[in-house]
Amino acid sequence: MRTLTAFKSLGLIDVKSVRRDSMLLWILVLTPGFALLFRFIIPEVAGELQARFEFDLVPFYPLIMSFLALIAAGMIGTVIGFLLLDQRDDETMTALLVTPLSLGDYLLYRLATPMVLCVVLTVFMFPLAGLTETSPLQIIATAICAAPLAPMYALFIGSFANNKVQGFALAKALGIVMVPVIISYFIDQPWQTIFGLIPHYWSLKVFWLFHDGATGSAMLHLVVGLAYQALLLLVLARHFGRIVKR
C-alpha cells in the first residue's frame, strides 16, 4: 500500500514538472514521430539511393527498425534524467528523505516508471513505422529488452550531470555508443557477442534474431540481456542512492 501511495504521489509530481517544462513535454510528444519518419522518409531515401547509386537499402530495414526501441528508451530516460536534475536542484529528494517515503520506494518508482513507459511506447512505434513485418512476440520481447535502458539513461544523467547542459552532453555521449552496435550488425558470431558489453546491443540482437526466424535464440538473448542490464542498473541505483544521501 505504501509503495502504491509513493507511485501515485511521485507520479503527480513528475506530471506537473513535465507540464511546466515545454522542452520535456515536446520530447515526450515528438518521440512517436520518429516512427512516422521511418515509415515515410526511409522508403524515399531508399528510392533515391537505388536510383542514384544502385544501392539497395531495403535489406538493412531490420537494422533501421531495431533502433526504434533505443530511441524510445533514450528519449524517456533523458526526460526522467532531467527531472532528477530538477529535483536535485530544488532539493525535492532531500525533502523526501525526511518523509515516510523510503529511498528504496523512490528508486523503485524511478526504475519501474520509465521501463513501463518505454515498453508501451515501443510497442506503439514498431507497427507505426512498418518498414518490416513484425510479430507481436518480436515487438514485446524487443520492447522488454530495451526497457532497462530508460532508467539507465535517467540514473546516469541524474548521477553525473550537474545541470541540464551537462545532461544534454551526457545524453549525446550515450548516443555515441550506438555506433559500435551498428558495426556489430555486420560482424559474424562469435565475435559479435563481444558487443554485448554495450547494453544497447541486446534489444537490437533480439529484434534481429526474431526477424531471422531464430525465436529460441532470441528468447535466450532476451534473458541474458535482461540479467546483464539488471546488474548495471543495480550499480547505477546504488551510486545514485549515495549521491542523494550526501
- Tell me the residue range of the domain where 97 lies: 2-244
Three-class SS of the chain: CHHHHHHHHHHHHHHHHHHHCHHHHHHHHHCCHHHHHHHHHHHHHHHHHHHHHCCCCHHHHHHHHHHHHHHHHHHHHHHHHHHHHHHHHCCHHHHHCCCCCCHHHHHHHHHHHHHHHHHHHHHHHHHHHCCCCCCHHHHHHHHHHHCCHHHHHHHHHHHHCCCHHHHHHHHHHHHHCHHHHHHHCCCCCCHHHHHHHCCHHHHHHHHHHHHCCCHHHHHHHHHHHHHHHHHHHHHHHHHHHHHHCC
Cβ within 8 Å of residue 28, ≥6 positions away: 18, 75, 76, 79
Residue 180 sits at φ, ψ, to 5 deg, of -65, -25
Query: Does 190 sit behind a cis peptide bond, omega within 30 degrees of 0 on the bond before it?
Result: yes
**CB-based burial label for 91 (10 Å; 0-12, 13-18, 19+):** exposed
The C-alpha R_g of the chain, in whole angstroms, comes to 19
The total number of structural domains in the chain stands at 1
What digits encode the pLDDT tens for the residues 71-126? 999 989 988 888 888 777 766 666 666 666 677 777 788 788 889 999 999 999 99
Cα–Cα distance, 196 to 41 (Å, whole number): 30
Q: pLDDT tens per residue, the chain (246 residues)?
A: 555 666 666 767 777 766 776 667 777 778 888 999 999 999 999 999 999 999 999 999 999 999 999 999 998 998 888 888 877 776 666 666 666 667 777 778 878 888 999 999 999 999 999 999 999 999 999 999 999 999 999 999 988 888 778 888 888 888 788 889 989 999 988 889 899 999 999 999 999 999 999 999 999 999 999 999 999 999 998 888 787 776
Give pTM, 2 decimals.
0.90
User: Residue with C-alpha cell 550488425?
Assistant: 185
Contact 109, 240 (CB under 8 A): no
Cα–Cα distance, 198 to 149 (Å, whole number): 11
